[in-house]
Structure 1
Amino acid sequence: MADKLYLIDGMALTYRSYYALSKANLVNSKGFPTGAIYGFFKSLLKIIEKDKPKYVGVAWDGPGKTIRHEQYEAYKAHRPEMPEDLKCQLDYIQKGVEALEIPFLVFPGYEADDILATFAQKGAQEGLEVRIVSGDKDLMQLVSPKIHIISFDRKGEVLEYGPKEVEEKFGVKPCQIRDYLALVGDTSDNVPGVPGIGAKRARKLLQEWGSVENILKNLDHLGSPRLIQAIQDNLDQLSLSLELV
């Protein structure tokens, strides 16, 4: 059996832990909030103890603006400021990760997604079984027999997505996720997509034509004048969405 590499989306797990335990109002004896800290390490240790991976890394967004911000000023611009009672816990989470001797994967100008993708693909090429712990839909495009995505449901139960599970959830193959999200948009990252194309229509288009590239080559065969017009009116937006996802 191949060795396992676990890659953790640090900020995604931090946010998830914060909101999952927000009602518990966990604080220490001095009144300092600890919910995100507790939830982060509970989830991290649960995964490590269950699968005992040989390698583990935690990826964080690098400082400064990324290439995506340069391409599209509104990228993630709608996201609210981090709550103060979460912000003050970040340093302790990072120190805790360091105490566990787990490497931080941080590079200026790069998002955690990009870092996770790079290390995941490199790990798979080296013959490792790679597991990415994240709830980010964008990363589903990486899924393969060697790379799986791990996330949590609302009850905190672990969910694992291989190629079969991705297709069951989205109705398209992992290699089509990028095109799927470019068509429907992604509100979590402020990716625009094509107005009027929802999940059902995007699935149908990709099941029939395979990719956005083939859809554009066969516009005259799509049948619906309204659909054709929507795509033609938003070609630049569609191209931008493909780059952002």
Structure 2
Amino acid sequence: MEMIEPVDISRPSLMLVDGMAVLFRAYYATAYGGSIRRMKDGTPTNAVYGYMRYFWDAVETFKPTHIACCWDLGSKTFRSEQFTDYKANRAECPEDLVPQFQMMKDVMDAFGIPNISVEGYEADDCIGTLSRLYREEYDVMVLTGDHDMLQLVHDHTKVIIMKKGHGNYAVYTPEYLQEERQILPDQVIDIKGLMGDTSDNYPGVRGIGEKTAYKLVQQYGSIEGILGNMEELAKGVRTKIEADLDMLHLSRKLATIDCDAPLACDIESCFFDPDRNQVSTLMEKLEMTSVVRLVGM
């Protein structure tokens, strides 16, 4: 794990929270043992409670001045139009988690944190768009568990990958990405194009795994570099790429975060200055007074 660097107080900072990733992580971390936290009326709240523990630890660790939370809408996206099997392998959302999506957005509202989503786009695209929009004036921090986000790493964009356990992070800067994986942020997309993504259900080039994908991109720089030097490749690798050229290009397209999603987000609305009464009132309603104590309100 990379050392967490001191916060640069000379520049304001914007934390972009991958709401879906954090909420799913919180749900499964707490539901694993079979004991689901519920309100007196039976409404499940385990994911919301777990989310707040993860979220508040990140706030205290990285001390953002501004925060926004990005969400998927669960509807069809431009990627599912390009490839009908995109994410088709995903299991149904657990029944106990369904009511907690809106509940979590209500909690973010109570903290004065904007909930951002766009029809036809994923949370990743919202995060990518906001990071590109504000990275010249703000130190952007992306809080997620999704390694696809590493393509957003930039001199003023850190990608904070949540690892197992509370308070355990890998903080990716361009230097750390180079040190750990010997690649540049843009090359994350080329690697995904080659190896595909089983969780998002697109295949890449059949027969090329992670190890070969990294080796090829490190050696030739990009998919274009690989295709321009096909005669140098081992016959087996060359044959696989030639057989799956269309899927290679489509997979790279599917892996690319769209940083031009049509969204509006006033940065002033992201300034993090929660109202104690709003937070306390909602947490009491959700029977989570321990969260009020956790956040020191």
User: TM-score of the superposition, structure 1-length normalised?
Assistant: 0.94
- Are the counterparts in 2 of residues 149 and 160 from structure 1 also a CA contact under 8 Å? yes
Post-superposition offset of 1:65: 1.3
Q: In structure 1, which of residues 82, 102, 116 is the aligned counterpart of residue 113 of structure 2?
A: 102
Residue 25 of structure 2 corresponds to: 16
- Are the counterparts in 2 of residues 75 and 191 from structure 1 also a CA contact under 8 Å? yes
Residue 7 of structure 1 corresponds to: 16
- Post-superposition Cα deviations, 1:69-127, rounded to whole Å, max 9, x if no partner, equal 100000001001100001121121111111111001111111101110000011113x2
1:182 and 2:182 aligned:
no
C-alpha distance in 1 between matches for 2:177 and 2:98: 33
Moved over 4 A (4+): none
- Are the counterparts in 2 of residues 63 and 107 from structure 1 also a CA contact under 8 Å? no
Q: In structure 2, which of residues 78, 95, 98 is the aligned counterpart of residue 67 of structure 1?
A: 78
Residue 244 of structure 1 corresponds to: 254
C-alpha distance in 1 between matches for 2:20 and 2:127: 12
Residue 128 of structure 1 corresponds to: 138
- Give the partner amino acid of 1:39: G
Residue 150 of structure 1 corresponds to: 160
- Are the counterparts in 1 of residues 153 and 172 from structure 2 also a CA contact under 8 Å? yes
Residue 183 of structure 2 corresponds to: 172
- Give the partner amino acid of 1:65: K
- Are the counterparts in 1 of residues 193 and 252 from structure 2 also a CA contact under 8 Å? yes
3-state DSSP of counterpart to 2:80? helix
Structure 2 residue ranges without an equivalent (≥5): 1-9, 256-297
1:228 and 2:238 aligned:
yes
- Are the counterparts in 2 of residues 8 and 133 from structure 1 also a CA contact under 8 Å? yes
3-state DSSP of counterpart to 1:206? helix
Residue 195 of structure 1 corresponds to: 206
C-alpha distance in 2 between matches for 1:88 and 1:98: 16
1:213 and 2:224 aligned:
yes
C-alpha distance in 2 between matches for 1:48 and 1:76: 31
Residue 36 of structure 2 corresponds to: 25
Q: In structure 1, which of residues 23, 34, 55 is the aligned counterpart of residue 66 of structure 2?
A: 55
C-alpha distance in 2 between matches for 1:39 and 1:215: 44
For the aligned residue pairs, the C-alpha RMSD in angstroms reads 1.4
Residue 139 of structure 1 corresponds to: 149
- Give the partner amino acid of 2:254: L
Q: After superposing the two structures, state which structure 1 stretch, 207-216 or 63-72, moved more.
A: 63-72
- Post-superposition Cα deviations, 1:119-162, rounded to whole Å, max 9, x if no partner, equal 0011113x210000111122111112211111221112233111
3-state DSSP of counterpart to 2:53? helix
Instruction: Count the aligned residue pairs.
Output: 243
Structure 1 residue ranges without an equivalent (≥5): none
- Are the counterparts in 2 of residues 21 and 36 from structure 1 also a CA contact under 8 Å? yes
User: TM-score of the superposition, structure 2-length normalised?
Assistant: 0.78
C-alpha distance in 1 between matches for 2:155 and 2:146: 19
- Give the partner amino acid of 2:217: L
- Are the counterparts in 2 of residues 133 and 150 from structure 1 also a CA contact under 8 Å? yes
Residue 262 of structure 2 corresponds to: none
1:88 and 2:82 aligned:
no
- Post-superposition Cα deviations, 1:6-48, rounded to whole Å, max 9, x if no partner, equal 0011111110000111124322333332210101111112222
